[in-house]
Structure 1
Amino acid sequence: MQQDVSTARIGALKATFEFILPYKRQIVFALCALFFTAGITLSIGQGVRLLIDQGLATQSEHMLTRYVLIFLGLIVALALGTFTRYYWVTWLGERVVADIRRKVFDHLIELHPGFFESNRGLEIQSRLTADTTLLQSVIGSSVSVALRNIIMMIGGIIWLFITNAKLTAIVMISVPLVVSPILIFGRRVRGLSRRSQDKVADVGSYIGEVLGQIKTVHAYNHQKLDKQRFSEHVEDAFSVAKERIVQRAILVTVVIVLVLGAVGAMLWIGGLDVIQGRISGGELAAFVFYSVLVGAAVGSVSEVIGELQRAAGAAERIVELLQSKNEITAPQFGVKSLPELIPGNLSIRDVSFSYPARPDANAIDHLNLDVAPGETLALVGPSGAGKSTLFDLLLRFFDCKTGEIRLEGVDIRQLEPTDLRRCFALVSQTPALFFGSIEDNLRYGKPDATQEEIEAAAKAANAHDFIAALPQGYKTRLGDAGLGLSGGQKQRIAIARAILTDAPILLLDEATSALDAQSEYLVQQALERLMEGRTTLVIAHRLATVKNADRIAVLNHGRLEALGSHSELIRDSELYARLADLQFNTEWEEPVVE
């Protein structure tokens, strides 16, 4: 199992590396700056040695000034190299993460809607933000730090041997003693960091959920309980963070004691050598500089290893998204296409369908139904009868388990999904409006629509007057999900959008069920204009819509129970008569049994 996880993470890191490869020139710039700064840093040790031995020890002001200037020159070169390295490494991290985010989003938006019913939206959002941010930190910082410290460690060890082999042997013995606690406590800190991130994610999810439903929270006076629950989430996150802080504080304390203790031992041994004339003061200072450099590099590399492990996990989660299969696609061979203008002829033949979460319960069960071009067909039935599911199948959000749906005589599975969906305009019970201007929302189905076309569609939907009365008219910006508009106004904008799309088949999903009488009247007028000359399927509980339909299909448990006009069904269908009595306030009499 562990091997499978490691293999998956290695594969994820390879996939991430593929995003880096296109930027070879920037990688070369970053590596050149990296080697340059590492070389300059290592040279500073020799600058310190010369400053002490050739400047201070000789008691010459001229020599002191000369070597101080050399030292300052090294500092300036280091600063310029660090600027170049930081710029290109950070640029690379930001550029790669931007590419990853774009590719993941482009992939997700093409996936079938069923994918998002079985995967939490907040989790996907977290992968697109938190995980990619972690990758940006690693690519744009941690990897550079690791490479730089590896170079410094190798170069520092070489200079240690050149400076003093005896002291170097002492350093080599003390390094494992310093590194071991770093690795042990570092592992604990990394584990607690992951737990802390999970707890913080829980806090974020709870905030998003509560604030997203703030009206319901206030309506049920749920603030006190939500405060209590949020406090529990915050305290859980704090408890884990406190534990992480303690472990990290212990780690820092141990490292300071061990590292500075080792430096003290080296100063004592090296100091004796200086006193006895075996080495110079400058050599001892350079040796201490290189030993601290090597120790810091080893500790930094061990920290970065933990960051790389976390990045591997993040990369794995992102790659999982990229590898998610789109189950709704056109066939590999034999793709058919529809003419630009179609009359809107639908045929449903022996269709059965069950949702993936409930494979044994058919939402649609051996349904047969034909809809003629220009016909208005109303779908009625109790909750769970399969009305909305039928719309999902027509739009091919899901594929039927058995049977087939034909549009203009063509099985919709033989069509490109985009070619199929351009033939439909959907107006749902809860209109989907997006953050942005009213104009942007109206253009959603036809981005190249002119202002005259937009206003004509709004007038046909009885929406122009209230839009024109807004402070910025069609440029007025809406809040999330159309916040700031009434239910009737939202619905009329959705209808105007459908009118502007000008699709031959119209799907109305209880478009007036949640409106007051005045709004319903205006929306109904707009719908009647929209339905003219179009094949229309209506899910409705409103008597006016049902009575105006050419035919009414009564669905029950996914099956077609009855089909006919309103008057015919009142007479012939017991279920429809009962629904009419309960929902449409019509009189229903017990059928006469002869």
Structure 2
Amino acid sequence: MDKSVSPHSTNDGEKKSKGIKSLLPIAAFVKPYKVMVILALIALIVTAAVALSLGQGVKLVIDSGFVASSTSQLNVAAMSMIAMILLLAVGTFFRFYLMSWLGERVVADMRKAVLEKIVFLHPNYFEENRSAEITSRLTTDTTLLQSIIGSSFSMALRSSLTLVGGLVMLFVTNLKLSLIVVAFVPLVLLPMFAFGKKVRRLASSSQDAIADIGTYATEIIQNIKVVQSYTQEPAECKAFADEVESAFDVAKARIKQRALLIAIAIFSIFGAITVMLWVGGSDVIAGNITAGDLAAFVFYAVMVAMSVATIAEVYSELQRAAGAAQRLLQLLEVKSDLLSPEHDAPLDVSLGTAIDIKQLSFSYPSRPTQLALNQINLTVNQGEVVAIVGPSGAGKSTLFEMLQRFYDPQQGAITLNGIDIRSLPLAQLRKLMGLVPQNPVLFSADVMHNIRYGKPTASEEEVINAAKKAHAHEFIEALPEGYNSFLGEQGVRLSGGQKQRIAIARAILKDPSILLLDEATSALDSESEFHVQAALVELMKNRTTLIIAHRLSTVKHADSIVVMEQGKVVNQGKHHMLIESDPLYQRLCQLQFEGA
């Protein structure tokens, strides 16, 4: 298995400079829900104000009730406390609900935005970036942000308000004791910022390590039959264990930094409270302040201490979220190399579609010095069936990808009815074409969904008719739930030939102007191939068809045969002409077609 890690576009230096500022662009996703934000802030302010008022309630209970030994005053003070606590509980309910709702809503929107970006990116992006890592960003990173927006951010705001309010009330209650508390604040804040940077860097590395684990596990699971056939289970378990241990080492370092941060904050905070209690107790004994004043002061001091501790912990979470936000925003900022034109060219396909390829040259971005296609010239008239043959690596599949504009050429052009395909909207271009690949792709859904993928609006009757034309209806009906049968991941519950016929039914249902058949019958037995070939012949009527062929029956019935080698068209003609005049075609017939 390939355990190489794709380079991340953002280096450590950039991550250091951005920090929590990376979370600012998330505000664009929060903006549509301003009303909910305002309501949540109101609930937040109310609960903070009520929490601060509890300190005065404590003072009232002690001075008016205990010290004054007045039952009536004690009852009034207690009832006042209960009323404030009830208001605090109601406010907390609304604060928690609104902030949690906001977190879930924003993350749902972000996931949709990321997927909407991903599905329109150029295919080359997925060759350079691992699918499991992209999936990790879409799931793990967004889940982390949901926790931050819905919980941690709310806690940070609440703690900030109570910290400021608590400090004000401390100074109002007793200036001397307040100065003692304030003197300890730098001892808490300085380690928080120092350790916070380390936590953020380690958190980002931890997220990357988790993505690596997901990538490796996905690769093993997807290729489990290969792993087992080569008896590589122990080796893969060991390799996976190494990946897990590497992620654990990074997580361990992150946890250590967070633990140190929290430990220093707790020692500083409660050390300050202890000193403050000693000084305050001395003043109560000396008669300088009342017991109620000291109790209120202790209440506010504990509130300030808890607020600072919460901010210290949440700050490290925010640092962690900053790394996740950076990775998500990287995805959202990626620009596709393939864009639809601003002004659409008029394309009339009512009378059919002709293909003209002129001086086409192309090399893959990963191999820029190696031409996959070299000066290709090819004309396919409306309604023609053209077979493309050649050895492996000749450029046959690349030509199909260029026709669907998965890549743009470095030189030359492809035109449909005289119009460059780069002048057409991508959706319009690809709707004109129906592809049946050599290895058909089926989704983890039922048969109906997989066939209907060719035409989502198709009725059930249309789907069944397409399946009958592809000679798939009989085996579909034999499945446990017929057309509603779940096929498993990548259609694992079907044979190769059955998958192929589902893919053919999908193409038949799409009813395209251009058919691209990449060895469409290669996985069928002789009887199925005969019936499907008959269906394809019917389907190919009045359509322009290109076939990558490895079977003699397909080649012999084509209007023209294109022979390719090393990215070039080396010959073109009918079967009987090429078999006599072209040595490469003769060799291909001997090697690939003689079995047929």
Which has the higher mean CA deviation after the structures are superposed, 16-25 or 489-498?
16-25
Change (3 A) 1:277 1:8: closer
Structure 1 counterpart SS, 2:515: strand
Q: Given residue 469 of structure 1, which amino acid in structure 2 is its aligned partner? A: A
Aligned mate of 1:430, from 425, 434, 439: 439
Cα distance, 1:189 vs. partner? 4.3
Q: For residue 491 of structure 2, what is the aligned residue in structure 1? A: 482
**Do the aligned partners of 2:446 and 2:484 also contact (CA within 8 Å) in 1?**
yes
What residue in structure 2 maps to residue 45 of structure 1? 55
* Structure 1 residues 424-463: Cα deviation after superposition (integer angstroms, max 9, x where no partner): 1100001111121111111112112122211111111000
Q: Give secondary structure in 1 for the equivalent of 2:324.
A: helix
- Sort the Cα spacing of 1:158 and 1:223 in 2 relative to 1 into closer, same or farther, 3 A: same
CA contact (8 A) 1:337 1:419 kept: no
Match of 1:96 in 2: 106
Equivalent in the alignment of 2:186: 176
Deviates more, 1:146-155 or 1:156-165: 146-155
Match of 2:217 among 207, 225, 242: 207
* 2:402 match: secondary structure: helix
Deviation at 1:11, TM superposition (A): 7.5
| Offset, 1:75 | 1.5
Partner residue of 1:462?
471
Q: Does 1:143 align with 2:158?
A: no
State the Cα distance separating 1:245 from its structure 2 match: 4.1
Amino acid at match of 2:75: T
Equivalences for residues 532-547 of structure 1 within 5 A: 532-547=541-556
Quick one: structure 1 residues 357 and 218, their matched pair in 2 at CA, closer, same or farther if it must change by over 3 Å? same
Residue 436 of structure 1 aligns to a residue whose secondary structure is coil
**Residues 503, 197 of structure 1: CA spacing in aligned structure 2 closer, same or farther, 3 A cutoff?**
closer
Q: Structure 1 residues 572 and 340 mapped into 2: Cα distance closer, same or farther (>3 Å)?
A: closer
Structural mapping, 1:6-17, within 5 Å = 13-17=23-27
The answer (yes or no) to whether the contact 2:203–2:320 under 8 Å persists in 1 is: no
1:111 aligns with 2:105: no
Cα deviation, residue 63, structure 1:
2.3
TM-fit CA distance, 1:215: 1.6
Contact 1:488 1:523 in 2 (8 A): no
- The 1:191/1:5 distance shift into structure 2, 3 A limit, reads closer
The one-letter amino acid of 1:236's match is S
**Aligned counterpart for 2:281 among listed residues 271, 276, 281:** 271
Distance 1:128 1:557 in 2: 39
Shift of 1:127: 1.7
Per the alignment, residue 590 of structure 1 pairs with: none
- Looking at structure 2, the residues matched to 18 and 149 of structure 1 have their Cα atoms a distance apart, in angstroms, of 24
Distance 2:399 2:131 in 1: 24
Q: What one-letter code is carried by the residue in structure 2 that aligns with 1:584?
A: F
- Tell me the SS of whatever aligns to 1:95: helix
The match for 1:310 among 320, 339, 342 is 320
Q: For the residues of structure 2 that align with 1:108 and 1:146, how far apart are their CA atoms?
A: 33
Which residues in structure 2 correspond to 1:340-355 (within 5 Å)? 341-355=350-364
Partners of 2:524 and 2:317 in 1: CA distance: 54
Matching of residues 60-79 of structure 1 within 5 Å: 60-79=70-89
Distance change in 2, residues 1:248/1:301 (3 Å)? closer
Question: What is the distance in 1 between the residues matched to 2:232 and 2:541?
Answer: 47
Is the contact made by 2:363 and 2:369 (CA closer than 8 Å) also made in structure 1? Answer: yes
Q: What whole-Å deviation, never above 9, does each CA across 1:540-567 have from its counterpart, x for those lacking one?
A: 1111111121211000111110111112
2:3 counterpart residue number: none
Provide Cα deviations, 1:381-403, integer angstroms capped at 9, x if missing partner.
11111100110111111111111
- Asked whether 1:529 is paired with 2:529, we answer no
Going from structure 1 to structure 2, the CA distance change for 1:244 and 1:372 (only over 3 Å counts) comes to closer
Partner of 1:86: 96
Deviation at 1:496, TM superposition (A): 0.8
| Partner deviation per Cα, 1:402-422 (whole Å, 9 max, x = no partner) | 111111121111111122112
Matched residue, 2:424: 415
Answer whether contact 1:342 1:408 (CA < 8 A) is retained. no
Q: CA deviation at 1:249?
A: 4.0
SS at match of 1:445: coil
Contact 1:53 1:281 in 2 (8 A): yes
2:66 corresponds to which of 30, 48, 56: 56
Note if contact 1:45-1:289 (Cα within 8 Å) is conserved in structure 2. Answer: yes
Deviation track 1:321-367 (CA, whole Å, cap 9, x = no partner) reads 2222222223224x213235341211111111111111111111111
Corresponding letter in the other structure for 1:108: I
> CA 1:343–1:9 in 2, change beyond 3 Å: closer, same or farther?
farther
CA drift of 1:487 comes to 0.7
Q: Which residue of 2 aligns with 1:328?
A: 338
Q: Report the CA distance shift for 1:540/1:496 in structure 2 as closer, same or farther (over 3 A).
A: same
- Report the Cα offset of residue 474 of structure 1: 1.0
Q: 1:384 aligns with which of 393, 398, 409?
A: 393
480-489 or 246-255: bigger deviation: 246-255
The offset of 1:186, in angstroms, is 4.6
Assess, with a 3 A threshold, how the Cα gap between structure 1 residues 354 and 543 changes in structure 2: closer, same or farther: same
Deviation digits for residues 137-177 of structure 1 (CA, Å, limit 9, x no counterpart): 22222222222111111111111111110111111112222
Q: What secondary structure is seen at the aligned counterpart in 1 of 2:359? A: strand
**Which runs of 5 or more structure 2 residues have no equivalent in the other structure?**
1-10
Displacement of 1:7 in angstroms is 7.0
Q: Size of the alignment, in residue pairs?
A: 586
Partner SS, residue 560 of structure 1 = strand
CA distance in structure 2 between the partners assigned to 1:216 and 1:316 by the alignment: 36
**Corresponding position of 2:8:** none
Match of 1:495 among 497, 504, 507: 504
8 Å Cα contact 2:471-2:528 kept in structure 1? no
Give the corresponding residue for 2:384.
375
Partner SS, residue 415 of structure 2: strand
Q: 1:563 to 1:232 in 2, by over 3 A?
A: same
Question: Secondary structure in 1 aligned to 2:453?
Answer: helix
Asked if 2 retains the 8 angstrom alpha-carbon contact of 1:491 and 1:523, the reply is no
TM-score (norm 2): 0.93
2:590 to 576, 581, 586: 581
8 Å CA contact 1:342, 1:504 repeated in 2: no
| Other structure's SS at 2:275 match | helix
Counterpart of 2:522 (choices 513, 517, 520) is 513
2:241 to 228, 231, 234: 231
Q: CA RMSD in A?
A: 2.2
Asked if 1:445 corresponds to 2:454, the answer is yes
Answer with 256-265 or 47-56: which moved more: 256-265
Equivalent residue of 1:288, what SS? helix
Q: 1:372 to 1:533 in 2, by over 3 A?
A: same
Deviations 1:202-224 (A, max 9, x none): 33222222112222222111111
Match of 2:171 in 1: 161
Does the Cα contact within 8 Å between 2:131 and 2:215 map onto a contact in 1? no
Matched, 1:360 2:369: yes
CA 325–238 in structure 1, closer or farther in 2 if over 3 Å, else same: closer
Letter in 2 for 1:118: E
Secondary structure class of the residue paired with 1:494? helix
Q: Could you say if the C-alpha distance between residues 323 and 547 of structure 1 is closer, same or farther in structure 2, counting changes exceeding 3 Å?
A: same
Residue 491 of structure 1 deviates from its aligned partner by: 0.5
- Which residue identity is paired with 2:148? V
Distance 1:405 1:196, change over 3 A: closer
Structure 1 pair 494–155 and aligned structure 2 pair: CA distance change class (3 A): same
- Choose the corresponding residue for 1:556, options 553, 565, 582: 565
**Map of 2:7 onto structure 1:** none
Inter-CA distance 252–304: structure 2 relative to 1 (3 Å threshold): closer
Change (3 A) 1:342 1:378: same
Q: How far apart, CA to CA, are the structure 2 residues paired with 1:11 and 1:282? A: 43
Give the Å deviation of 1:261: 2.3
Other structure's SS at 2:346 match: coil
Task: Go from structure 1 to structure 2 and tell me whether the alpha carbon gap of 1:10 and 1:73 turns closer, same or farther (over 3 Å shift).
Answer: closer
**Cross-structure match for 1:592:** none
Amino acid at match of 1:36: V
